[in-house]
């Protein structure tokens, strides 16, 4: 009777160890998946921002030159465009929490804690 109890305890110990190893591997896979999503999203958004930067640069130059020709005063178009960007930066700075911080925090929460795996949503099903 002593041997069978020891065998059962060893089997139980092995099962628990296998379960913990499987959970650890699952955690590693989930972390790798989430990290890959964050990095790929960052790379995609960086490329898009890079392209948009040059598009905005050339549009700004075109508008500034058009204003120079329209007002027949060299440099006034560039002053207007610079003023527009200064105003835009001030407004953006004032709204940075709403426009940048909250959406980034929310997207990170959605990536690392998807709704289907969220503990709080399990009771709603």
- pLDDT digit string, tens, across residues 31-50: 898 889 889 989 999 999 99
Question: Within a domain: residue 106?
Answer: no
How many domains in the chain? 1
Residue 62 lies inside a defined structural domain of this protein? yes
Q: What span, in angstroms and rounded, lies between the C-alpha atoms of 49 and 75?
A: 28
DSSP 57-97: HHHHHHHHHHHHHHHT-TTHHHHHHHHHHHHHHHHHHHTHI
pLDDT in tens, 71-89: 999 899 999 999 999 999 9
Q: What is the pLDDT of residue 68?
A: 95
Residue 32 lies in a domain: yes
Within 10 angstroms of residue 64's Cβ, the number of other Cβ atoms is 19
Look up the pTM and report it: 0.64
Question: What's the full length of the chain, in residues?
Answer: 125
Domain of residue 27, residue span: 2-94
Q: Token digits for 84?
A: 């527009």
Q: In the predicted model, what is the mean pLDDT of the chain?
A: 87
Tokens linked to 26: 């699952």
């Amino acid at each position: 009777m002593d041997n069978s109890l020891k065998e059962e305890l060893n089997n139980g110990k092995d099962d628990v160890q296998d379960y913990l190893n499987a959970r650890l591997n699952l955690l590693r896979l989930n972390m790798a998946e989430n990290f890959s999503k964050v990095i790929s999203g960052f790379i995609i958004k960086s490329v898009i921002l890079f392209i948009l930067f040059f598009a905005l640069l050339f549009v700004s130059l075109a508008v500034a030159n058009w204003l120079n020709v329209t007002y027949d005063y060299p440099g006034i178009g560039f002053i207007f465009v610079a003023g527009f960007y200064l105003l835009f930066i001030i407004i953006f700075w004032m709204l940075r929490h709403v426009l940048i911080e909250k959406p980034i925090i929310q997207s990170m929460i959605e990536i690392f804690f998807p709704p289907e795996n969220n503990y709080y949503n399990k009771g709603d099903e």
